Amino acid sequence: MNFRWFNAVLWGNSVALSWMWGLGLFFSVQMSFMFGLQGLLMFAIPNALGLMLFGFLTQSVAKRQSGGQESLALFFDKFAKPFRLILYLYQVVALTLTVFALVNYLFVPLQLAVGPLLGLYLCLIVFVILAAGCLFGEEFGIQKIKLSHGMLGFLLVFCVGVILLSLKPLVPAAMPWVSPFQAEWKGASFWGYAIPLVIGLLVGPWLDLQHWQRAIQIHREQTSIRASYFFGGAIFFLMLLFHGCLALWVMTQRGDQFVAGAGLDGFNYAHDLVTQYFNRNYKTLGGSLPLAYFSFLSICALTTLDSGYVALKWFLGKNVEKSENMLVSLIPKQILGSPIPTFLLVGLITLMGIFLRLELEYFMVFYASFFVGYAALAIARCFVPNSQQPLPQIRMFSMASMSLAIFSFGYLKSETMLLVVGSILPLAYVLWLVFNADLLRVVTERAGEVIEAASEIPAIKAITKTVNVATGADVVAPDDHHALGGHFEEKWFVYSMIATYADTNSVGNVYFGMYALFVGKTRELFFNTAMPDFDLKTSKFYILTRSFEHKFVREAREFDTITVKIRVADFNRKFCTLEHQIFGSDNELLGKGKQSLLFVSSKDYALLDIPSEVYTAFMKYT
């Protein structure tokens, strides 16, 4: 038990350091500059609570799933499929934001190079930062990253101690509740920032690959995810409080002239407030104090970058291995599964942002608007059963883009209402999606009950008896047997049969080859139920089996009831994957497997994209 608590503390430290990216590092300074201590607390509290809630809820998800130590990993494999692009984009923006903030608010203010050498200097700095992240990420995988972060955390505590002992005590009660530089900031009101920040920070961790990978690894090590993220949230809150209070302390120094830099939008930004102070007073304060602060910033950025490298390597590798896309197969998997191309993209965007004189807020608007809807839907898909319908990709992207534009207008025009609407609109749309699916389910269920009840009315029964023509799917076996044509249980198509002498071998067990025949028969009945209008004579396409896998678990004997369940597990543009499970008389698992289908032209057998008729028929069963 003591070891588990110590392990939870180590993981909590790693959680806090990986979340102390550019957003936490430098925006805590900006919030202190804009709104004083109230702004710092408004930023820090929901940030820490977001981490704690993620740990609390993901442990609930892990406990609800079967699979033991791998339950959360198995859940994430299914959960992440519709969010793969968004999870990747979220990580790219987070890493870019971190590198951009470190370079723009630490190295640029130091003015180590000017004139023609500035561009070369910035390129070298960006390269060194990214190379360090790749080196540490490659050296320390997810199993060892808590140890490397433990050592870096110790150095971080040392740096903070040097700063606190060298300066006057940073007591929050002595800090100004309202910023002493309110006149320099003429942007939106306090609530224009408070509401979007609270929304974005509370749901933010749910799209971060780093946190999902950590939660999965913590669960594998049989350590409490809740305890780890509680420690992580608490450590992270203290780090934000320290940095924000340090900025407030700098602002209260009467002998130092503070000048905020004007951005392209005309607003004043003070992200590099503390950096400028230590740079101007380098000789007065002594070299150790500024060096401690600069090391503090570098460690926080490094622990984000190496975590991002490890998470991307894990995520990209998993998706490349499972991908059946023909275009993907043309590119070497070593390239597609490596985070290095992504890191190069991060470096390119960083340099462009610096030369275009962008600010940290231009990257942050994505987290207060664009990603909010996706994160909210991700949470809903973890806990709300009726949100499991296929993800409406185009509608979600359109809503996210629209909210991003509204929020951007609100920021540039200092309109509080537009800022709030840009953040709340995606949440409202997700609620509508979930509620709409729930309403449709209720109406469908009630409609079925009404039709069933109406069918017992003598007059209606007589009409239906003379008019309706029964199909194979409508014929039901007597008493307690399943429908002769099979039936659906949620997403699974189920068909039962009884094994007879013809299905067995000389020993008396069901012959191993019969299981493939059972699955094949169930698949044909599933097709017949899902696509009743399919006609082989007039069809423009044929459905062929690309591969078939089956794992044998137990044996069945003569007169055992064999139940086959089959469903659509996955699909891309070309191929569709069906998953099957076979159960015996006592509902014990006999075997399971999957098969891949492809679609060809009925004229020349040329490979086709999945036909629209198949998409329409199969979509509701995925």
The domain defined by 472-621 folds into Thiol Ester Dehydrase; Chain A (3.10.129)
For the entire predicted model, the pTM comes to 0.70
Report pLDDT for 523.
92
CB atoms under 10 Å from CB of 261, counted, come to 15
Report pLDDT for 478.
41
Residues 6+ apart with CB under 8 A from 602: 539, 540, 541, 542
Q: Which of 194, 228, 202 is nearest to 62 (CA)?
A: 228
User: What is the spatial distance between Cα 389 and Cα 385, in angstroms, rounded to a whole number?
Assistant: 9
Radius of gyration (C-alpha) of the chain in whole angstroms: 30
Task: Classify domain 2-385+399-428 by CATH architecture.
Answer: Up-down Bundle (1.20)
Report pLDDT for 233.
94
**458 pLDDT higher than 60:** no
Report pLDDT for 193.
87
User: What is the spatial distance between Cα 604 and Cα 88, in angstroms, rounded to a whole number?
Assistant: 39
User: What is the spatial distance between Cα 399 and Cα 407, in angstroms, rounded to a whole number?
Assistant: 12
User: What is the spatial distance between Cα 142 and Cα 228, in angstroms, rounded to a whole number?
Assistant: 15
Asked which of 171-180, 324-333, 380-389, 515-524 is least confident by mean pLDDT, the reply is: 324-333
Q: Which of the four pLDDT bands, split at 50, 70 and 90, describes residue 223? A: very high
For 329, the 3-state DSSP assignment is: helix
Are the C-beta atoms of residues 325 and 333 closer than 8 Å to each other? no
**435 pLDDT higher than 60:** yes
What value does the mean pLDDT take over residues 581-607? 89
What value does the mean pLDDT take over residues 307-328? 78
What value does the mean pLDDT take over residues 538-558? 90
**79 pLDDT higher than 90:** no
449, amino acid identity: E
User: Which tokens go with 199?
Assistant: 């929304």
List strand residue ranges (DSSP E) for 221-290, in order.
261-262, 268-269
What value does the mean pLDDT take over residues 198-214? 92
Mapping DSSP onto H, E and C, the string for 225-251 reads HHHHHHHHHHHHHHHHHHHHHHHHHHH
Q: Where are the domains of the chain?
A: 2-385+399-428, 472-621
Question: 585: which DSSP letter?
Answer: T
